[in-house]
Structure 1
């Protein structure tokens, strides 16, 4: 996979782009660069990348706006690059569809590990579509998850989710009424390779509910907050 893997590196500092590019090319990834938000958006929309590394603070258009616009068209995994102390921006990034973030200054090896982690998760999801038996479907009133097609529908309408949102929904839906602590969800859904905080789970749940609510209020209500603990997937038998 590495020979054909394409990564877009977006940062207004040439030194950072060059450093990341050097380490990614050692893994035989194909790397393209963009130096501002406008150039990044054009490349992301007009070409297909396996992963996008996206700086938040940039001229022309910041990374938050770029991520928001990309999500209108594509579900490409996005890793945000943020300066230390920009926690509010990181939360914004998750809210508009980012999958992970790396805090500057960072080790280039960490960047490589994060990229590999996301590629593994996406590959595993694609493998499941081929490897699972036919009709591998989780079906509840108001919500259906079709693993074969990697499709989520709520009251008959398809819901467009990022890979991480899809993975989180599937994990919860496989064990209805089981309450998961936020720490458990970080461990099970982000697989230890994610070094984020508990607000990461909250922002992903919020986005997931919002997307479901756009087509079905009943489906959105199935993801229940257990105050002081975490979340569960609740099925109304009535």
Structure 2
């Protein structure tokens, strides 16, 4: 028996039932289900989940909008499962905090396999975090990054960031002044094979700059070395550890 809590969100009862059945066969018994965005949001506000499977086309709320609201409460993996299959939809889903994007019609066994892969990855992250004994706060004066709380503070103000934006910034600040190519960042942060499309990385860097840079058009923290990649330059030159 496995102890992860999983939330399934879809307005089709049949999809919920078959995913629940297959997950139960794999030993997952802590499964919650919701058929509307409001039901899902209520679940997230009142329970802790390890993973969320989320449809985009819900009767009362766009799934992308719902994901943004979910990210105010939790940074757990969100897997979109939807009939919306355009490249723009995929980029939107991943850009607002989704960790995977599966289009309908789908093979239910593949969805379960991807759920298990995300949960395994989360387990590895947790184990590594516990072993590394990393500082809880990266403090650069005007910029603070609270690792355990998933918070970014700029000039004393909390800045909202998606899960991937936070992971990307944390990955870079752990390795100050090191240059990473878009492919390296994608494979390390997204934990997926890089297929040559830089848009995802560029979009996340651009959004982070708008949130943490004094002048996003002339960035001094998330610096681009043209033709090479990106690096994190600690504000004030300090290490920021406390």
TM-score, scaled relative to structure 2? 0.76
Local SS of the residue matching 2:11: coil
- Does structure 1 residue 231 correspond to structure 2 residue 230? yes
Matched, 1:27 2:30: no
**Aligned mates of 2:137, 2:38 — CA distance in 1:** 40
Query: Greater CA deviation, 95-104 or 131-140?
Result: 131-140
Partner of 2:41: 41
The offset of 1:57, in angstroms, is 1.6
Mark the runs of 5 or more structure 1 residues left unpaired by the alignment.
none
Compute the displacement of 1:54 (Å): 0.6
The residue that corresponds to 2:164 in the other structure is 164
Measured at CA, do residues 137 and 71 of structure 1 come closer, stay the same or move farther in structure 2, by a change above 3 Å? closer
Q: TM-score, normalising length from structure 1?
A: 0.77
1:47–1:227 Cα change, 3 Å: same
* Map of 1:53 onto structure 2: 53
Mark the CA change 1:144 to 1:128 in structure 2 (over 3 Å): closer, same or farther.
Answer: farther
Contact 1:117–1:193 (CA under 8 A) maintained in structure 2: no
**Structure 2 matches for 1:84-123, cutoff 5 A?**
85-123=85-123
Contact 2:144/2:153, CA 8 A, preserved across alignment? yes
Higher alpha-carbon deviation: 143-152 or 182-191:
143-152
**Is contact 2:136-2:146 (8 Å) kept?**
yes
The 2-side partners of 1:62 and 1:75 are apart by 19
Aligned partners of 2:67 and 2:98 also within 8 Å:
yes
**What's the counterpart of residue 62 of structure 2?**
62
Tell me the CA shift for residue 168 of structure 1: 1.6
Aligned length: 234
Deviation at 1:146, TM superposition (A): 5.3
CA distance in 1, matches of 2:108, 2:76: 21
Contact 2:37–2:66 (CA under 8 A) maintained in structure 1: yes
Deviations 1:38-68 (A, max 9, x none): 3222222232211111111221112012112
- Is the 8 Å Cα contact of residues 146 and 152 (structure 1) preserved in structure 2? yes
Aligned equivalents of 1:228, 1:82: Cα separation in 2: 36
Runs of at least 5 residues in structure 2 that lack an aligned partner in the other structure:
238-242
